[in-house]
Structures are given as C-alpha cells and as structure tokens.
C-alpha cells in the first residue's frame, strides 16, 4: 500500500515484530537494572568481605559508602576483576587466595 505522500505503509507483521523485540530488549534492561540494584544493596558487603585482602578492592572500598552511583562504580570494578581474574591477578589488583575464597 502507498499512502497520500507516496510512502509505503507498514504491515501488521512488521508492527508486531518491532513491538516484540522492543519489548524483549526493554525487559532485559529492566532485569539488568534490578539485578545490579540487588547486588549493590544486598550482596556488596559479602563480595567485598571475601576480596578484602586484594589491593584493587581496598582502593575502591572506601567509595562504597558515598551513595548509589559510587556503590555501582565499586560493583562494576570488582565484577571486572571477577570476569577477568588472570588479568587482575597479573596486574596486582586481585589476590589469588581471595579470588579462590570467593568462588
């Protein structure tokens, strides 16, 4: 179909496709935000406790009492140590004994 201005109109299948995948990405974003908030508010103390002898965690631990943005920053930094442990251990930010006690 072509409308008055010469543009093609979208079909119902295209609209459902955009709504489905848009809703999927929106839902995944909400789940991610809720997961980060849960880790920041309820599990941050336990994570830092297990990694308390690591220099990288100690350097960022002092920021965790300043507010939500600071807690999120600390969580992001500590999680990057846990995602790439060999780089963090080689760089001196993470102690291998603390990493193994966390697992």
- SS3 for 60-76, per residue? HHHHHHCCHHHHHHHHH
For residue 77, the model assigns a pLDDT of 86
What are the backbone dihedrals phi and psi of residue 13, each rounded to the nearest 5 degrees, phi first? -65, -40
If you average pLDDT over residues 71-81, what whole number do you get?
A: 85
Q: Is the pLDDT of residue 3 over 70?
A: no
**How many whole angstroms separate alpha carbon 30 and alpha carbon 49?**
28
pTM above 0.85, yes or no: no
If you average pLDDT over residues 83-88, what whole number do you get?
A: 90
**How many whole angstroms separate alpha carbon 69 and alpha carbon 74?**
9
Question: In this structure, are residues 98 and 53 in contact, taking their beta carbons and an 8 Å threshold?
Answer: yes
**How many whole angstroms separate alpha carbon 43 and alpha carbon 38?**
7
For residue 7, the model assigns a pLDDT of 57
For residue 98, the model assigns a pLDDT of 83
Q: Is the pLDDT of residue 2 over 70?
A: no
Q: Could you report the per-residue pLDDT of 11-68, keeping only the tens digit for each? A: 778 788 888 999 999 999 999 989 988 988 888 888 888 888 888 888 887 776 767 7
């Amino acid at each position: 179909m072509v409308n008055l201005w010469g543009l093609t109109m979208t079909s119902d299948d295209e609209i459902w496709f955009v709504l489905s995948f848009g809703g999927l990405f929106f839902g995944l974003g909400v789940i991610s935000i809720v997961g980060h908030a849960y880790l920041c508010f309820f599990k941050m103390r336990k994570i830092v406790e297990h990694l308390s002898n690591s220099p990288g965690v100690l350097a960022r631990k002092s920021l965790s009492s300043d507010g939500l943005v600071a807690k999120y920053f600390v969580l992001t930094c500590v999680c990057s140590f846990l995602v790439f442990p060999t780089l963090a251990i080689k760089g001196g930010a993470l102690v291998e004994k603390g990493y193994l006690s966390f697992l």
